[in-house]
Amino acid sequence: MIKIAILGYGIVGSGVAEVIRMNQDALKKQTKTGIDIKKILDLREFPEDPFADRLTKNADEIMDDPEISVVVETIGGAKIAFDLTKRALAAGKHVVTSNKELVATHGPELMDLAVSNQVSYLFEASVGGGIPIIRPLHKCLAANVILEISGILNGTTNYILTRMEHAGIDFETALKEAQAHGYAEQNPTADVAGIDACRKIAILGSIATGEYIDSRQIHTEGITDVTTADMAYARALHAKVKLLGSFKRQDGKQYNLIVAPMLVPSNQPLTAADDVFNAIQVTGNALGTAMFYGRGAGKLPTASAVVADVIECAMHLGKQPHMALWEDHGNQNILAHDEAAVSALIRLSPAIDQNSVEKLFSNVGIEWLEPVMPEEIACIVGQNSDQALTEGQLSQRLAQLGESVISRMRIYTKS
């Protein structure tokens, strides 16, 4: 019997216990011996819980117990979870987590600590909930140079954008709906500001390159400024507005990463992901493009990914598993945002002199749209030209146009 402990008995932590209880026969078959939850750390009381007898408020009972070989960290955040993860790894215990913030913030340090203690630090559940993506990227696509990863990585924002598109409601109304359904938290900032998606694309990029990509260095825009007018333009352009996290390998040593709402052409398979679903598209130089699709969050899906990692640890007890390791090059590996290529939809006041706009963008391609919204004109820039438009140039030129600019939204282009 593999003895494990769960740190943090919230949604995912209690889901882990539920999956282990629900599928104990299957887990016994997989691991030969089965998985036993010996301790659960939480400061709260759960008197009615089937695992009430395993609960403790004292981490020492876990860290000092040599029988416990795998620790599941489902506390979240990068403070207590960080300390306890370090303690567990230092105590020679494998650690499995769904905590994207911790992996994105302290991944390299924790991986080093794991290696020096001959244990694993696994985090399949940190991206895509139950959708297998970390291990496929790390193992199945190992023979590829990964050229691009683009994905709808956050279910909350995808639900909001889908509702705005389908029901014609505005952001605030859709957010309230999402909160009423339990799809958005009362403080939804990490989701709607794109921070969650940003951590996830940083983790995926790090896996793809073997280099630590610091999420705090990635240009990130959320969806709070997306309007019903944007949805109208999306329809007119046969596209959908999606919050994308994107990693693109450039020539040279730097990677191009961004998180922002973008217009994604409807013929892209990514757009199959509506509501709370996630979809992640990976392009390798041998593979071509593959896509992974499913529920990116939720108690049992996420828990099932955690438990899969526990099984992986259990199969490698006493052996060093083939886990991800990220070299830390000190934040020099992300292309400066201003230098990244971009194409965008620009909405303008009809009072503007169209000739001056054309002159500004003629070298990078400009195409005027048929009217979509009253009292504005709109064009697409940065497409259909040999010369690239950079983010820096776009910002600068929009600044020149001043208050005539109503908004700009990026258009997703597959590399």
Contact positions vs its own copies (CB under 8 A): 15, 19-20, 22-23, 26-27, 29-30, 124, 130-132, 135-136, 139-145, 210, 269, 272, 284-295, 298, 300-301, 303-308, 310-312, 315-316, 319, 322
What six digits make up the tokens of 77? 């955040």
CB under 8 Å to 237, separation ≥6 — which residues?
A: 263, 265, 345, 369
Task: List the beta bridge partners of residue 269.
Answer: none
Give me the least distance between CB of 300 and its own copies, in Å please.
4
Closer to its own copies by Cβ: residue 228 or 266: 266
Give me the least distance between CB of 308 and its own copies, in Å please.
5
What six digits make up the tokens of 2? 């593999």
The C-alpha R_g of the chain, in whole angstroms, comes to 23
Q: Is 79 annotated in the active site?
A: no
Give the residue among 274, 258, 254 at the shortest CA–CA distance from 343. Answer: 258
In angstroms, how far is the first alpha carbon of the chain from the final one?
48
Dihedral, 226, 227, 228, 229 alpha carbons, nearest 10:
-110
Give me the least distance between CB of 167 and its own copies, in Å please.
17
Closer to its own copies by Cβ: residue 19 or 239: 19
Residue 35 near residue 1 (C-beta atoms within 8 A)? yes
Closer to its own copies by Cβ: residue 271 or 349: 271
What six digits make up the tokens of 377? 């004109």
Closer to its own copies by Cβ: residue 292 or 361: 292
Give the residue among 177, 220, 186 at the shortest CA–CA distance from 202. Answer: 220
Give me the least distance between CB of 67 and its own copies, in Å please.
21
Give me the least distance between CB of 170 and its own copies, in Å please.
26
Task: List the beta bridge partners of residue 150.
Answer: 246, 281
Task: List the beta bridge partners of residue 380.
Answer: 345, 367
Chain centroid, CA 126 distance in Å: 8
Residue 347 near residue 368 (C-beta atoms within 8 A)? no
Closer to its own copies by Cβ: residue 26 or 167: 26
Residue 1 near residue 314 (C-beta atoms within 8 A)? no
Give me the least distance between CB of 217 and its own copies, in Å please.
23
Give me the least distance between CB of 329 and its own copies, in Å please.
14
What six digits make up the tokens of 195? 């921070």
Please state, in angstroms and rounded to a whole number, the distance separating the CA atoms of residues 246 and 222.
14
What six digits make up the tokens of 329? 């090059």
Closer to its own copies by Cβ: residue 47 or 318: 318
**Which member of 93, 100, 200, 240 is catalytic?**
200
DSSP state of 319: S
Closer to its own copies by Cβ: residue 277 or 361: 277
Side chain identity, residue 192: V
What six digits make up the tokens of 96? 């499995």
Active site residues: 200
